[in-house]
Structure 1
């Protein structure tokens, strides 16, 4: 079963798999702060490697739609009121710092994971990649482990539809 472009040979059966790759070039511009181990610019470097090795031509490259508030709230509690007082309560600080564009960053990485789940659910692809995602430490009411939004849970909720 040859599907033409935007596919990779995978597995011993030699069947081409349709691959959706979610990437927003802006994601590498976010900065957690000096000395913080989380470095979103590495996502840009990964994309450059994929391009250099000619792998992007075998995938459908998509810019993720930002996750909507209602998508984010499917797992996470709303935390916008009394922001300064709430930062400590929701574990936002040294481990999970506030930085310029934080909410947009969360919308981008969560949007890629939810978008990938939608494509998988509709049979549009066999494999979905979102290097910006996988930030699975976030709890439903607090940030944790460099993670603000648990995009894995959001993608699973989408897959379960």
Structure 2
């Protein structure tokens, strides 16, 4: 028997074993919900991809913006302004997050993007002084964000709500 006669079956067997081991490697499954929180204080969660970003990429971007907000010094009131027709939350003039229709749908309760942005902005305004010792917002910061007053029937959104 020639050596090539054994080489072909051996090669096929090695390819089958290698293919099986590659197929058994776990696949990355992107998260479906990512919390935006600092310490034990939860601000809101992101449940949908948007603007070309996955859920976990959006969380990373918001966390980077929170670092930028803290680095900018004493925060000014949290505001909501519309950019290209979509409510966007700002702190110190720094964009934190834009709320998309998909976010409102994922929150449930039939709320619109402006109501969800108002709820998220209120949580941010309430939470920043709790996680940032010495942080004091002007008195009007505790009120509803600019341009989107929170409706009394805005459902609470968050873990377990």
Structure 1 length as normaliser, TM-score?
0.31
Which protein is richer in helix relative to its size?
Answer: 2
Which protein is richer in strand relative to its size?
Answer: 2
Structure number, greater radius of gyration:
2
Structure scoring higher RCO (CA < 8 A, sep ≥ 6) equals: 1
Structure 2 length as normaliser, TM-score?
0.31
